[in-house]
Amino acid sequence: MAGLPEQDGPRSLYPSPPPFYKHFTTENIARLNEFREANGIGANDSSAFPLLSASQLLSLPAELRYLVPPEPPAEDEQYRVFNEDTKIRQVLPSLEDWHYEQLYPSPPSPVAGEDPTSQSGWTLDRAKYLKDLVRSLILNFVELLGIVANNPAAADKDEKLGDIATIVANMHALINEYRPHQARETLINMMEEQLERKRAEVDGIRRMKEKVEETLAEFAKTAPESLASAVSEEVGALAIGESRKESQRQMWRAMDEILGH
């Protein structure tokens, strides 16, 4: 509309970088290295970015402080992304964290002195429990249909919906336990495909090698005859040189035909 002012569109597809990126220059990096050498920082530290103490950091000029990376967070610390607290060490939430009842057995508690991660003697038949949960889900859904058909506002409806949600959450948790196995199988398939490609490349190189060897063998058989005929017809070094050049041209033309150029 003519009465409304025109709104400016987005000026760039991506947001601008933070303003302190301008301080990451070759001169500032050299100044920071000189400061570290003068104060003996990093002499006994093998890391690429030795940490500075608080007093050393404050003694730096403002433009050099941005070049010092912060101390890495500990494994038990959290950081905020999109207004959500995220832990450094990602742990798959359990059904208890989701506030759902667990309907399948948990691994036994480790004995004193035993590694909690090594429980090779205990296994869970996840497929069996998934089938049982599917049957329970269908049965509860049929019961929910019966409740809603008789009285849509019945209080039993909410209880039955809660049971269905618990069953679905347990199925989701069991399926998530297959993720490590899925990752291993995906990696195995990728490695097998890469191995097949490498084998195909090696076979192609071998076939090309055989063709080149056959071509060179043919040249070795015909070269003396062509050279002898050239010597008998033309006397002199110039004629012999031209004959050799012609033989080389023929060889390169044959190589181009073999290589497909």
Q: List pLDDT tens digits, range 112-147.
A: 655 555 555 567 888 899 999 999 999 999 999 999
- Contact, 68 vs 57, CB < 8 A? yes
Where does the pLDDT of residue 65 fall: very low under 50, low under 70, confident under 90, or very high at 90 and above?
A: confident
Question: Sign of dihedral through CA atoms 158, 163, 169, 171?
Answer: negative
Instruction: Pick from 112-116, 140-144, 221-225, 226-230 the range whose average pLDDT is largest.
Output: 140-144
Is residue 172 classed as helix, strand or coil in its secondary structure?
helix
For position 250, what pLDDT does the model report? Answer: 72
For position 112, what pLDDT does the model report? Answer: 63
**Helix 237-259, helix 179-233: angle, nearest 10:** 150
Is residue 85 classed as helix, strand or coil in its secondary structure?
strand
Considering only CA atoms, which of 56, 65, 67 is closest in space to residue 25? 67
Does 193 share its domain with 173?
Answer: no
- Contact, 118 vs 141, CB < 8 A? no
Does 207 share its domain with 242?
Answer: yes
- The arithmetic mean of pLDDT across residues 145-161, rounded, is 90
Does 172 share its domain with 230?
Answer: no
For position 193, what pLDDT does the model report? Answer: 96
- The arithmetic mean of pLDDT across residues 13-37, rounded, is 86
Residues 6+ apart with CB under 8 A from 219: 247, 250, 251, 254
Write the CA distances from 34 to 62, 142, 145, integer angstroms.
Answer: 16, 76, 77
Q: Is the pLDDT of residue 102 over 80?
A: yes
Average pLDDT over the chain reads 79
Does 162 share its domain with 225?
Answer: no
For position 185, what pLDDT does the model report? Answer: 94
Q: Is residue 132 part of a domain?
A: yes
Q: Is residue 188 part of a domain?
A: yes
Q: Is residue 224 part of a domain?
A: yes
- The arithmetic mean of pLDDT across residues 149-161, rounded, is 89
Q: Is residue 82 part of a domain?
A: no
- Contact, 95 vs 170, CB < 8 A? yes
Q: Is the pLDDT of residue 200 over 60?
A: yes
Q: Is residue 10 part of a domain?
A: no
Instruction: Pick from 39-43, 108-112, 246-250 the range whose average pLDDT is largest.
Output: 246-250
- The arithmetic mean of pLDDT across residues 230-237, rounded, is 54
Length of the chain, please?
261
Does 223 share its domain with 247?
Answer: yes
Does 245 share its domain with 185?
Answer: yes
Where does the pLDDT of residue 168 fall: very low under 50, low under 70, confident under 90, or very high at 90 and above?
A: very high
Where does the pLDDT of residue 253 fall: very low under 50, low under 70, confident under 90, or very high at 90 and above?
A: confident
Q: Is residue 107 part of a domain?
A: no
Does 37 share its domain with 50?
Answer: yes
For position 1, what pLDDT does the model report? Answer: 47
Helices (DSSP H) in 78-178: which residue ranges? 126-150, 156-176
Does 187 share its domain with 249?
Answer: yes
Does 138 share its domain with 158?
Answer: yes
Where does the pLDDT of residue 66 fall: very low under 50, low under 70, confident under 90, or very high at 90 and above?
A: confident
Does 170 share its domain with 207?
Answer: no
Domain count, the chain: 3
Is residue 40 classed as helix, strand or coil in its secondary structure?
coil
Q: Which one-letter DSSP state was computed for residue 14? A: S
For position 135, what pLDDT does the model report? Answer: 96
Does 190 share its domain with 240?
Answer: yes
For position 166, what pLDDT does the model report? Answer: 95
Q: Is residue 110 part of a domain?
A: no
For residue 41, the enclosing domain spans 19-70
Helix (H) or strand (E) holding 64: helix 62-65
Does 173 share its domain with 191?
Answer: no
Q: Is residue 65 part of a domain?
A: yes
Q: What is the DSSP string of 127-146?
A: HHHHHHHHHHHHHHHHHHHH
Instruction: Pick from 87-101, 112-126, 214-228, 243-257 the range whose average pLDDT is largest.
Output: 87-101
Rounded-to-integer distance, Cα 10 and Cα 67, Å: 31
Last residue of a domain, one of 54, 70, 86: 70
Backbone angles phi, psi at 254, to 5 degrees: -65, -40
Which of 129-133, 165-169, 179-183, 189-193 shows the lowest mean pLDDT across its residues?
Answer: 179-183
For position 89, what pLDDT does the model report? Answer: 75
- Contact, 100 vs 169, CB < 8 A? yes
